[in-house]
Structure 1
Amino acid sequence: MSDCGCHAEANTAAERRVLWIALALNAAMAVIGSLAGWLAQSTGLLADALDMLSDATAYAIGLAAIGRSARFKQRAAGVSGSLLLLLGVGVLIEVGRRAWVGSEPVGWPIVATALVSLAANLAVLRLLRPFRRGEVHLRATWIFTRADVVANIGVIVSGVLILATGWRYPDLVVGALIGLYVSKEALEILSEARNAGRLPAAPEERA
């Protein structure tokens, strides 16, 4: 009975359930955050929303990787890391644009939206915890969500500072920090994917 594959099937089902929940929450918050960020003129919220959109894409890739070969999972993690790196660079460009042309971020919608995003990401992080030391594509989703939590906290702090001081600079600073942090996390994922690619392939995975 130990070789029936029941445990593997159960693990696969659990992974799919968690990734579907994470995908739904991130996609919903990406839409909400984008609208709120646009209306509130917040670089931090827009960066956070784009980060969650990238995460939703990563979770979709993770779902596609379940049950596939180690090589496919390594490539899926590489695609996820590349998307996240592009996002980080894009955020930094947007911060520079807004610093040049000016913006007037509104504090209360920034704080409210970031609190909702934080609650969603903490829920996803708790669901992903059992898989944080799993295969490379699942470790990538853990890293994505961990980055989101840090970004959410930064946006909340910037919103509070805007409410307290009326300055727009906290939003720009947090947006830039999110861009840098996201880029760092992307490089970490790409590094893990490269390291996984150096491992010898199983006989059944070799061409």
Structure 2
Amino acid sequence: MCSQARAQTDEERKTLRVALALNLAMFVIGTTAGLLAQSSGLLADALDMLADATAYAIGLLAVTRSPVFKHRSARLSGVLLLLLGTGILLDVGRRALGGAEPVGSVMMVFALLSLAVNVTVLRRLSRYCTGEVHPRATYLFTRADVVANLGVCVSGAIVGITGSRWADLVAGLLIGAYVVREAAEILRDSRDESKATTA
């Protein structure tokens, strides 16, 4: 029994390390691409990758800790995601007022690359989607990323075809709103599980 639990813990750590490395790399690439393409959607997607990397790092710390530490780790992840979502929404507003001309082709290329990375990570995390609160939080983070990638890809195609920047701003707005929703779900899960543990 102990050896089985140890194997599961080692596998969870390995999955989180891979996810952490991939998301840090995609954050750097995405930020560069977002600045070059002047895209709110790409920058939102890249920042989401950074938030995910933070969640994976917190998850690594929580793997062998107490239930209380795990609940607090999930809560911290939720708060970080909430701050990120709010920041994305503020950036979309700033760009809407200040103006920007996003490059649709760059948006699509990065979105497809990010989608491939996130689908790979999501498949590895899928076994934890009904487990403890902290690995479940990392699963929700990655699921949000997949939705965001699809949104940026579609908006990139629209920008490329029409030349309008509004599709990019709408993508950024939707990503920000979805990130805030996922943050609320993580915080709610953490609170409910904490209450159940206390009871």
TM range (shorter): over 0.9
Per-residue Cα deviation, 1:37-78 (whole angstroms, up to 9, x for no partner): 001000000000000000000000000001100010000000
Per-residue Cα deviation, 1:58-105 (whole angstroms, up to 9, x for no partner): 000000001100010000000000000000000000000000010000
**TM-score, normalisation: structure 1:** 0.95
Per-residue Cα deviation, 1:125-150 (whole angstroms, up to 9, x for no partner): 01011111111000001100000000
Equivalent of 1:178 in 138, 159, 175? 175
Per the alignment, residue 7 of structure 1 pairs with: 4
1:200 Cα shift?
A: 3.2
**Residue pair 1:26, 1:53 contacting (<8 A) in 2 also:** yes
Which SS does the other structure have where 1:200 is aligned? helix
**Residue pair 1:106, 1:162 contacting (<8 A) in 2 also:** yes
Could you say what the CA RMSD is over the residues aligned between the two structures, in angstroms? 0.9
1:197 Cα shift?
A: 1.1
Per the alignment, residue 95 of structure 2 pairs with: 98
Equivalent of 2:120 in 119, 123, 140? 123
**Residue pair 1:74, 1:136 contacting (<8 A) in 2 also:** yes
**Residue pair 1:71, 1:201 contacting (<8 A) in 2 also:** no
1:164 aligns with 2:140: no
Per the alignment, residue 205 of structure 1 pairs with: none
The letter of the residue matching 1:114 is A
Structure 2 gaps, min length 5? none
Q: Would you say how many aligned residue pairs link Structure 1 and Structure 2?
A: 199
Per the alignment, residue 149 of structure 1 pairs with: 146
Q: What's the % identity of the aligned pairs?
A: 59
The letter of the residue matching 2:123 is R
Structure of greater Rg: 1
